[in-house]
Every structure is written in structure tokens, then in C-alpha cells.
Amino acid sequence: MQEDALHYSKNYSESGFVFAPFNSEEKAILFPVEKAEFLQEKIDFKIGNSLKKTFISDNSSKEKHLKIVEKAINFIKMGTIQKVVISRQELVSLQNFDLVAVYKKLLLTYENAFVYVWFHPKVGLWLGATPETLLEVEEKVFKTMSLAGTQVANSKENIVWKSKELEEQQLVTDFIEQQLEKIANTLKINKTETIKAGSLLHLKTKVSGRLNKKSTLKELISALHPTPAVCGLPRKIAKQFILEKENYKRSFYTGFLGEINFNSSQKGKKETHLFVNLRCMKIDKNTACIYVGGGITKGSIATKEWEETVSKAKTMKRVL
């Protein structure tokens, strides 16, 4: 785009690229297709070694995270909610930040992810490599996924998932099924599989179907976002807990981004490709702010949840 005006999507009926925050009460930014310029370039993956970084260590962040996770576990044990995703931010101080080098490393590290750089002068610079699709739509046919449960990919041998992770992911699948049943004519839930994202493994279940005639993209998005993969269950109470108790504002982390209502020239059909904004960071002058979180259920142990966020942050820091 050649201008710095901020545009917002009104009801996801426009054509363009959206960048939506976690809090769906807030507006989603839109790069309208008519203002966009499309460039295609071949990437040379040679990377210079110019980057120096310092991690800003802050011991209080561990204590803060453990405290809120404990609070969440107690809240769940009271029976009010089943799951809530608790997250935090981690700061990394950068010298000689080389955006192109970091982007290339993201592409190389996350082969199966949607890797992006997003910038608006009034909002800032974001980049990430997300393994999670929120939605793929072609006319009325849609695909989504339930993605949750995390373990470090240590070996290629038999991967064993504990009941905590299996149940946590099943909650997400059940939620997606219930939400989509209301607006879909057909719905197919695939078998759950293990996928790799950087050095982490997750449980993933693909879901697909056909939207009924009168339902819109906006209804489909509202039915899904935010899923319990990034928010919790029941959605409203979990969201309230996150907005009130997390020690910072998520802004675009755990929101979503991607193309909406794009006219693909080959097929002549309207397409939408949206991804959940995970494994992402915001770059502010010489600091990278990395965002990481994990699902808390009744089976959670606070220190393990902390370690999960450390592992997730590690995979992001590796590219800096």
C-alpha cells in the first residue's frame, strides 16, 4: 500500500488482508485489495550472521506466570470453567536487527507454518510462523482445525500423548463441532494426528464442511474465533478471565490474519485463508516482544505450564 491510512473491516464482506486482535470486540484492520500491490520474489536463503541479541531476563515474569496459572487451576477446580489459555510476553533486546534474515530463518525453521511479516506505520511490525489455520473457505466449502496439546519433539520414536493433552485438545474439537453444527449443512471430523511445528509437537484434528446457504463469512468467523485453543471454555467466562487477569494486553497475539474474499484468478472463486496469530512477535525499535501461552485444564501443573511457554519462546528466539 502507498498510504498510511488505517482501514478496518466492517463485517468481513470486503476483499483484502485482515489483521484481527484476540478481543473480537475490537476492530480488525483491513488492507483493502484495491489499495494493494502484489509482488512476487524468489528467496535466496543465504543468511548473513550479523545479528546480536540479549535476552532481557526478568525473574518476576516466572513468578507472575505461575501465580496466574495457579489462579486459573483453582478457578477450573471450582467448576466454573473447563479450560483457559494463559499467556505472557517475553522481551529480547536486539542489535542490528535484520528483518529479512529473521524472515528467512522463520521460513526455514517452520516448514509447515504460515510465515508472515506484517507492518503498518500506525500499528507496528509483527512477524510469526503459525501452525494453526483458523479457516480456509472457497465459496461455501470450509476447512478448519482443532490444534492443541504440546510436547517437545525429542525423538522420532513412538509419540505418547498424556490424557491431559488428549482431553485438552478434545475440548477444542467438541467446541468447533458444536459451533459449526449451527451453521453448516455438512460437517466432517477427521482422525486426530500429531504435527510438528519447529521443535514442538501438537495434536491436530482437521474439520471440514459446507456452510448453509444463508450463513456468512462473518458468522463463520464469529462461531470459531476465539476457539478454546487460544481462549477457553466456556468461551465468554474464559475470555473475561484472560482480559482481567493476564498481566498484559494480547493485542494481535491469538487474533487471526490472512486474506478474505479473494478472487483467485485461476478458479474464479472467492477464497479466504485465515491463520491464528501464534508463535509471533512484535518488533519495537530494538526490542522483540515474543508472545507465548498454553492451555490450562484441571490436570495442569503450574511449573509444567511455565516450561511449555519457555519451550515455545525458545523456538521463537532461535530465529532472532
Note the residues at the interface with ligand ISJ (CB under 6 A): 85, 87, 132, 147-150, 202, 229-230, 278-279, 292-295, 312
Considering the complex, state which of residue 9 and residue 82 has its C-beta at the smaller distance from ligand ISJ: 82
Q: How far is the CB of 130 from ligand ISJ (least distance, A)?
A: 8
Q: Which cell goes with 155?
A: 525423538
Considering the complex, state which of residue 87 and residue 272 has its C-beta at the smaller distance from ligand ISJ: 87
Q: How far is the CB of 121 from ligand ISJ (least distance, A)?
A: 27
Q: How far is the CB of 264 from ligand ISJ (least distance, A)?
A: 28
Name the phi and psi angles at 309, rounded to 5. Answer: -70, -30
Considering the complex, state which of residue 16 and residue 295 has its C-beta at the smaller distance from ligand ISJ: 295
Give the span between the Cα atoms of 65 and 74, in whole angstroms.
Answer: 14
Listed in sequence order, the residues at least 6 apart from 221 whose beta carbon sits closer than 8 Å to its beta carbon are: 12, 134, 135, 256, 274
Considering the complex, state which of residue 223 and residue 292 has its C-beta at the smaller distance from ligand ISJ: 292
Q: Which residue's C-alpha cell is 477457553?
A: 232
Q: How far is the CB of 261 from ligand ISJ (least distance, A)?
A: 26
Considering the complex, state which of residue 30 and residue 292 has its C-beta at the smaller distance from ligand ISJ: 292
Considering the complex, state which of residue 150 and residue 272 has its C-beta at the smaller distance from ligand ISJ: 150
Q: How far is the CB of 305 from ligand ISJ (least distance, A)?
A: 8
Closest of 290, 284, 289, 288 to residue 310, by C-alpha: 290
Q: How far is the CB of 83 from ligand ISJ (least distance, A)?
A: 9
Kindly report each contact of residues 163-168 with a partner whose C-beta sits within 8 Å and lies 24 or more positions away, as own/partner. 163/299, 164/297, 164/299, 164/300, 165/203, 166/203, 167/297, 167/299, 168/83, 168/295, 168/297, 168/299
Q: To the nearest 10°, report the CA torsion of 99, 104, 110, 115.
A: 60
Q: Which cell goes with 236?
A: 465468554
Q: How far is the CB of 282 from ligand ISJ (least distance, A)?
A: 14
Q: To the nearest 10°, report the CA torsion of 133, 6, 292, 250.
A: -120
Considering the complex, state which of residue 31 and residue 75 has its C-beta at the smaller distance from ligand ISJ: 75
